[in-house]
Structure 1
Amino acid sequence: MEVHAEELVPKKNSTSVIWKWFGFSQTDTAQTAVICKCCNDKIRASDGNTTNLFMHLKRKHPKEYADSQIIKGPHARASGTTKQPETTRHKQTTLTKDAFEKGTPYDRTSKRWRDVTDAVTFYLAKDMIPIKTVENEGFKRLLKVVDPRYDIPSRKYFSSTAIPQLYSECRRKMENKIQNVKFFATTADLWSSRTSEPYLSLTIHFIHDWKLCSACLETTYFPQDHTGELIGQGLRDALECWGLKEANMTCMTTDSGANMVKALELNSWTRLQCFGHRLHLAIEKSAKDPRVERVTSVCKKVVSTFSFSWKKKRDLSIAQTELKLPQKKLITESPTRWGSRLNMIERVLDQEKAISQVLKADKKTRHLVPSWQDVDVMESVKKALSPLKDFTDALSGEDYVSISYVKPVLHLLKVNILSLNDEDTELTKTMKTSILAYLTDKYQDPTTDDLLDMASLVDPRFKTQYIDKDKIEGIQTRALSELESLLTIQYPTSDQQPTSSTSTSTSQNPDEGQAPPKKAKQSLASFFKASGVASASAATTTSSSSLKEAIEGELKGYLSTPNAESEVDPLEWWKVHEANFPRVSQLARKYLCIPATSAPSERAFSTGGNIVTCQRATLKPDKVNQLVFLSKNL
């Protein structure tokens, strides 16, 4: 190799072996002219391309070219130009495929897309979420973080397709669940939405596998006049729509509205008055005293003063801190909830010192400071009503038996809670007497009283304990009669008497010219068969008396067992003892499913109020019915 007179400079930042035989002049700072160290020729090479350089060596300097190839071989292997292993190429292919799939939305027929869409639909229906939520940017971002490949459908899809499909599926399941229910009870009520659209609700309650089940069946748009005749027809249509037989309905619990009472009378349905509504009316009647009305007015004005002034709220908080009182806000009364009035009075009494301190500091509000007479009246009202506060809530549950509690509660009110004490004030005694007299009068209705007695009878905790002694025999007779009727319908006896082949043959005309049949030899089994025919005939004549005796014996055995503990679930008790008292258990299924209050219908309307909000005031009645049904039954 010839030595160049000038020492050439190698290419900057290059690792190729070719630059062992090529370089640049020291004065060529831009390194644009490549010079061969062997022959001093200038070679054209653009942008670091070394192909021309290797070709120059190959044509003019074969020996140097051979050396370059020897050096280039291991260098290429070291730099990774050799064939990649199969596992590496497979891994790269998998990563490329995964990256591609992550950016590809699910097909709308895929299981994953349907599962996520169903979950979103359930969320919207169960939690009463506006359907427009699916178009909100925050919700879309949430879903993209959870699953980037999921493409959420439009609002119209959920409104027109997903929600109706979920409703149809849920309704079909409910129909299958209630189609074989033998006994059920219902509640019904009327309600007007925020948009002044009237609705009629219907809830069902029944016992399945000794579990108390309840469901909201209808929240039907009811634009007709709310007369007893039209309401009665609407309720019949609702039952028919669900395939429910009126004969299987034990009772319907409603409020005391005159139109609702008339509707049930026209339908000849047994009606139970809502205990919560009755208690509310009893307390409202007892609060007609002028002293109570004045105290209620004073409390409402005080609460209003603090509710509409942020300064008064601030001063009240400071006063509570100074007087070491709990930091609590005042409570406003709701006219339809007597408990809210009691809560308002109790809170004013609890914060009376702080309230007085704030009101006295402002001459414009000094006249609102409760006087000592007002405080005495509030104390009297609190003492009369506080013990009653928990009864309405306790009897309004849907997951446990409540109907059999009504009789014991009335007894407890009479002998304990509403009994007059020496330390009671005159106002407290007056209110207690008024409440007890009203409840006693309203629950003296024979039909209602018998219904409550039957429910108490089949509750193993109470049985005849709270039934009037002069009525126990009559209630037991009614229970026997109902059981006999139920079992006769369930297991009817045939009046047709079986006839033997002998009597049939002898009734034929002997003059028909036919030879008499040859007498067959009787087998041993034929004697038992004849005996069975005779015994069946005898059993038919005595079946009714035997059934009655069996029912009487079973009912007597049930009543002779010790009463269950008061904390025992009566349905769990019957689940264990059904085998011992199979007939009486039918009555338990019939009566223990009745709700003591119409609270289930009220809850359905509360759900409707959470759905028909200001932002969703244009919902159609059919859509409201679907959304209430799904929210209550999913």
Structure 2
Amino acid sequence: MQPKRLQQDVQTKWNSTQYMIESLIAQKRTLSAYTAEYDLPATLTANQLGLLEKASTVLVPFEEMTREETASSASVADVIPIVCVLKHVLSQENEADQAIKMIDLMKSTLLDAVNRCFNDVESEPLYSVATLLDPHYKDRYFTNADTLRLGKESLMAEVGKMEEVLKTTSETTASEPADKTPRMEALGTSTSSLGSIFDEILEESQVLPVPKITTSAQIQVETYLSEANIPRSDNPLLYWKVNQPRLSSLAAMATKFICAPCTSVESERLFSTASNVVDERSRLTSETTEILIFLKKNLPLMVM
């Protein structure tokens, strides 16, 4: 067998514990053979390894969501749907997990922590409006009817302000039925095992009846929300580029909200990029350094 080092966890990075457990499980046969051959005094029992496998399964959704939320393309619009998916996964009853009290307690503790940490996320206009403007999610992933109503009111208010700035949207063009929406360019095939959970929540969510609408802003919002969601692999910004002529105010709002990142990870990576560019290049001027950093971070966006 090829030599392989076991992962060690890092106290400041929770997902390193998940990687440590995974590496230990992957090498359990090798470790069992080694401990048996050399008669080591301390080793993991079969029950302990089984418990680690169950714990790893519970932590997998958190690890996947962490990777998605720290990606360069992650948006503030992803927060509410991801919290909804985590709650859904942790709330699912599993007879195998319930039979192991420690795993059942682990899931309930994590669910309480998610509820406590993200209790007010749907009430924040930044998150709610961004989620409503993302054609992946719209109003399908809100868990509270009151926060959804407040989010729609905030969206209406923002669109009304945008209409005053643009002065180009009319009720006639906004209320016209949409033509067949072309398929957007894919962002890439997702390897997440939670894709089915997103689809399941989307199918379970009920489309509320459309209220009586009187303003151009309401017409645009209700027309947009009544249409089918796009697949998660499609690019939301390309969707708004295609639909900008008929939903001009919403498209302008989408470019304002969806571009906001949901974490500070990408900005922290920028400092690492600067360090890598300047490292061992002591003769670089500040102007050249700035240009190189700009190209490094933005060239992939220009050649898409």
> Given the two structures, how large is their TM-score scaled by the length of structure 1?
0.35
Cα distance, 1:416 vs structure 2: 2.5
8 Å CA contact 2:22, 2:56 repeated in 1: yes
Cα distance, 1:413 vs structure 2: 1.4
CA distance in 1, matches of 2:296, 2:235: 28
Cα distance, 1:388 vs structure 2: 2.7
372 and 572 in structure 1: CA distance in 2 versus 1, 3 angstrom threshold: same
Cα distance, 1:349 vs structure 2: 1.6
Query: Which residues of structure 1 form unaligned runs of 5+?
Result: 1-316, 318-325, 492-547
Q: Which residue pairs with 2:102 in the alignment?
A: 427
8 Å CA contact 2:138, 2:225 repeated in 1: yes
CA distance in 2, matches of 1:420, 1:608: 47
8 Å CA contact 2:278, 2:289 repeated in 1: no
**Matched residue type, 1:562:** A
Give yes or no for the alignment of 1:632 onto 2:297.
yes
**Higher share in strand:** 1
Give yes or no for the alignment of 1:589 onto 2:255.
yes
CA offsets 1:41-90 (integer angstroms, 9 cap, x no match): xxxxxxxxxxxxxxxxxxxxxxxxxxxxxxxxxxxxxxxxxxxxxxxxxx
Query: Which residues of structure 2 form unaligned runs of 5+?
Result: 168-213, 300-304
Cα distance, 1:552 vs structure 2: 2.0
After TM superposition, list the pairs within 5 Å mapping 1:406-417 onto structure 2: 406-417=79-90
CA offsets 1:362-404 (integer angstroms, 9 cap, x no match): 46xx2342234532332232121123322111222224x5332
CA distance in 2, matches of 1:579, 1:489: 16
Query: Which of structures 1 and 2 has the larger relative contact order (alpha carbons within 8 angstroms, sep 6+)?
Result: 2
Q: Which residue pairs with 1:474 in the alignment?
A: 150
368 and 629 in structure 1: CA distance in 2 versus 1, 3 angstrom threshold: farther
Of residues 356, 368, 372 in structure 1, which corresponds to 2:32?
Answer: 356
8 Å CA contact 1:380, 1:427 repeated in 2: no
8 Å CA contact 2:83, 2:118 repeated in 1: no
8 Å CA contact 1:383, 1:428 repeated in 2: no
Of residues 305, 317, 338 in structure 1, which corresponds to 2:14?
Answer: 338
Report SS of the residue matched to 2:215.
helix
8 Å CA contact 1:345, 1:378 repeated in 2: yes
CA distance in 2, matches of 1:563, 1:631: 33
Cα distance, 1:483 vs structure 2: 1.8
CA distance in 2, matches of 1:386, 1:560: 34
CA distance in 2, matches of 1:344, 1:566: 30
**Matched residue type, 1:439:** V
Cα distance, 1:481 vs structure 2: 1.3
CA distance in 1, matches of 2:156, 2:251: 12
Report SS of the residue matched to 2:95.
coil
CA offsets 1:81-120 (integer angstroms, 9 cap, x no match): xxxxxxxxxxxxxxxxxxxxxxxxxxxxxxxxxxxxxxxx
**Matched residue type, 2:109:** S
Q: Which residue pairs with 1:66 in the alignment?
A: none
Q: Which residue pairs with 1:20 in the alignment?
A: none
8 Å CA contact 1:411, 1:466 repeated in 2: yes
CA distance in 2, matches of 1:379, 1:565: 32
User: Which protein has the larger Cα radius of gyration, Structure 1 or Structure 2?
Assistant: 1
CA distance in 1, matches of 2:111, 2:289: 40
8 Å CA contact 1:420, 1:432 repeated in 2: no
Cα distance, 1:589 vs structure 2: 1.3
Report SS of the residue matched to 1:388.
helix
Give yes or no for the alignment of 1:456 onto 2:134.
no
8 Å CA contact 2:123, 2:151 repeated in 1: no
After TM superposition, list the pairs within 5 Å mapping 1:439-518 onto structure 2: 439-445=114-120, 449-467=124-142, 468-491=144-167
Q: Which residue pairs with 1:161 in the alignment?
A: none
CA distance in 2, matches of 1:549, 1:448: 24
8 Å CA contact 2:125, 2:151 repeated in 1: yes
8 Å CA contact 1:404, 1:459 repeated in 2: yes
377 and 561 in structure 1: CA distance in 2 versus 1, 3 angstrom threshold: closer
8 Å CA contact 1:404, 1:456 repeated in 2: yes
**Higher share in helix:** 2
8 Å CA contact 1:407, 1:466 repeated in 2: yes
CA distance in 1, matches of 2:277, 2:10: 21
8 Å CA contact 1:443, 1:449 repeated in 2: no
CA distance in 1, matches of 2:288, 2:112: 42
Q: Which residue pairs with 1:396 in the alignment?
A: 70
Q: Which residue pairs with 1:371 in the alignment?
A: 45
**Matched residue type, 1:551:** A
471 and 339 in structure 1: CA distance in 2 versus 1, 3 angstrom threshold: closer
Give yes or no for the alignment of 1:576 onto 2:242.
yes
Q: Which residue pairs with 1:560 in the alignment?
A: 226
Cα distance, 1:345 vs structure 2: 1.3
628 and 461 in structure 1: CA distance in 2 versus 1, 3 angstrom threshold: closer
CA distance in 2, matches of 1:382, 1:432: 12
384 and 619 in structure 1: CA distance in 2 versus 1, 3 angstrom threshold: farther
